Structure 1
Amino acid sequence: MMETDKMSTASSVGTAERRPLLQALVIERRILFGCTCFVGLCTFLWIAAVCTEKWVHIEGGSGIYLHTGRYFMWSDTGVWEMCRYVFQPNKTMTIKDAPQNTTGLTGQIVTRCTNYLAQPPMDNGRPIDPAYDVNIANYVRTMISFGIISLFVMAMGCGFSAYTFHNPRYMFKRLAAGIHFISTSCTFVVVQVMMSSVDHMKKNVRFIYPERAYHYYNISFFLAWFVVLVNLFAAASFLWYSRKRKGDKAATDELAMADEPTIIGR
């Protein structure tokens, strides 16, 4: 009878000692589940951000005169395409006769879009479209390359994150953390290259970024930053919770056995 009482007491003490570990496990599962869901959501947000032209808005105010005889009004820039909205006066004016802005002029707003992935029409070895710049085209190719890579890596990271709930072994969490870190790096490169391209336009391409214009970043740019931060948080969370927990440090016997050394055979 006394031996039975001792065994039940030991069992109850073990359960009580593991109660804080079980509570910590619940919090861990909720955080990692939230990270997995947000990474999956970011996959679609990234597609929406890359496919829209709302990254950078360049504002020309009441109009800035261009050498083509039109007035620059504003433009919306995406990852691979930029659309400019220019004012076309009804009458042709010389540079001397042209006013500084569109105040008092009659005309219409015309949209001009430049696709930097397509080969532009050439005239004597130079692009006909004055908005096409070779350096910007190189920036665009870099953003597209890293954008596509990050999309596949994010989808892969979401799959590995979900697998960690099926197999709680620490090595799979570290693998998921590494994949999330790669997707963080790739998406961050796209954001940084976009900022560099805007800086290049401001300094070197006056037709796209006139002297009196100014710019601000639009919704797609902030969506991209949201994707970067979510992937970074997911990488840090999976790495933090990938510590080995053996024996009495594990919340359950299943987790304790999962983190024991394993010989991987053929």
Structure 2
Amino acid sequence: MMETDKMSTASSVGTAERRPLLQALVIERRILFGCTCFVGLCTFLWIAAVCTEKWVHIEGGSGIYLHTGRYFMWSDTGVWEMCRYVFQPNKTLTVKDAPQNTTGMAGNIVTRCTNYLAQPPMDNGRPIDPAYDVNIANYVRTMISFGIISLFVMAMGCGFSAYTFHNPRYMFKRLAAGIHFISTSCTFVVVQVMMSSVDHMKKNVRFIYPERAYHYYNISFFLAWFVVLVNLFAAASFLWYSRKRKGDKAATDELAMADEPTIIGR
């Protein structure tokens, strides 16, 4: 059986003296409530970002000739899948007679998607799909792992943030701040690994990122950055407002009692 002994040092200062503290408390509650709502929203934004292929767009302009006889037009890359759009000429072209681009040529745009989580078909120990790269597959596994972890941590952080309004004790705010910082770190890792994978494609995988092509980051990438910044702001806000406020430093007697030392014994 546990007995809790709380000793309050809350002072009975007047309402006029506590009015500035009450105003500051209202601002604090609004900021923390806004952070909690935005973190909850970011949980769904993170799901949308991870499940879409609009992270990186690689542009090939009017077509870049590939050794397969097709022309690379553009590609959209997501966390685990990349879809390439290539131009398939109506006639077979060799390297010598292939034009520089697809201007004036007859053919069709063909979509080729590569899922880096699935085991690719092999031929003599090598993937049949020339777009499948082992290093990129490793990047994808890292992003998926941290993406799933960050999703659960964000949901848990939203729950702990909401609990701080029920129990205003400073230790719960610090716990919420720590959880938000962990989700910030996990989502930031996903963003950084995506940037590293694009750099690897540009330097080493010419079939995916041919010469003369260029890339830019798309809507899902910026959604991910938004999630990172919101979680970082939430972590900083909960940490800032987790200071102890006892006695006449507290806006109400209830808050003063909540931050009093608690002795737990048998």
| TM-score, with length taken from structure 2 | 0.95
Cα deviation digits, residues 233-256 of structure 1 (max 9, x gap): 000000000000000000000000
Distance 1:11 1:88, change over 3 A: closer
Q: Give the distance between the partners of 1:33 and 1:177, measured in 2 at CA.
A: 13
Distance 1:4 1:141 in 2: 48
Q: Tell me, in whole angstroms, the C-alpha distance in 2 between the residues paired with 1:68 and 1:230.
A: 45
Distance 1:69 1:26, change over 3 A: same
**Residues in 2 aligned to 1:6 and 1:162: alpha-carbon distance in whole angstroms:** 25
Shift of residue 93, structure 1, vs aligned partner: 1.1
Q: Separation in 2 of the partners of 1:255 and 1:5? A: 16
Give 3-state SS (helix, strand or coil) of 1:239's partner: helix
- CA offsets, 1:189-237, max 9 Å, x none? 0000000000000000000000110000000000000000000000000
- Report the number of matched residues: 266
Q: Give the aligned partner of residue 202 of structure 2.
A: 202
- Counterparts of 2:205 and 2:220, CA distance in 1: 23
The answer as to whether partners of 2:13 and 2:248 remain within 8 angstroms in 1 is: no
Change (3 A) 1:19 1:95: same
Cα distance in 2 for partners of 1:3, 1:93 equals 85
| Residue matched to 2:141 | 141
Contact 2:4 2:264 in 1 (8 A): no
Percent identity (aligned): 98
Does structure 1 retain, via aligned residues, the 8 Å contact 2:32–2:238? Answer: yes
TM-aligned CA distance change 1:206 to 1:161, over 3 Å: same
Q: Residue 8 of structure 1: SS of its match in structure 2?
A: coil
* Aligned-partner Cα distance in 1 for 2:13–2:246: 18
**Alpha-carbon deviations, 1:110-136, whole Å to 9, x = none?**
000000000000000000000000000
How big is the shift at 1:6?
A: 30
The residue that corresponds to 2:117 in the other structure is 117
How far did 1:156 drift? Answer: 0.1
> 2:161, 2:173 within 8 Å by CA — same for their partners in 1?
yes
Q: CA deviation at 1:103?
A: 0.6
Q: Post-superposition shift, 1:7?
A: 24
Q: Map Cα deviations across residues 138-164 of structure 1 (whole Å, 9 max, x no partner).
A: 000000000000000000000000000
CA distance in 1, matches of 2:29, 2:112: 51
Q: CA deviation at 1:2?
A: 46
Task: Indicate how the Cα distance of structure 1 residues 3 and 9 shifts in structure 2: closer, same or farther if over 3 A, else same.
Answer: farther
Q: What whole-Å deviation, never above 9, does each CA across 1:46-83 have from its counterpart, x for those lacking one?
A: 00000000000000000000000000000000000000
8 A contact 2:10–2:247 mirrored in 1: no
> 2:231, 2:35 → 1: CA distance?
8
* Structure with larger RCO (C-alpha < 8 A, sep 6+): 2
- Could you say if the C-alpha distance between residues 265 and 129 of structure 1 is closer, same or farther in structure 2, counting changes exceeding 3 Å? farther
CA contact (8 A) 2:3 2:264 kept: no
Distance 1:104 1:47, change over 3 A: same
Q: Secondary structure at the match of 1:13?
A: coil
Give the drift of 1:104: 1.0
Cα distance change of structure 1 residues 3 and 261 upon mapping to structure 2, 3 Å threshold: closer
Q: Is the 8 A contact 2:11 2:247 kept in 1?
A: no
Relative to structure 1, the CA distance from residue 60 to residue 9 in structure 2 (aligned partners, 3 Å threshold; closer, same or farther) is closer
Shift of 1:264: 3.3
Whose helix proportion is higher, 1 or 2?
Answer: 1
> For the Cα contact (< 8 Å) 2:85–2:111, is it kept in 1?
yes
RMSD: 6.1
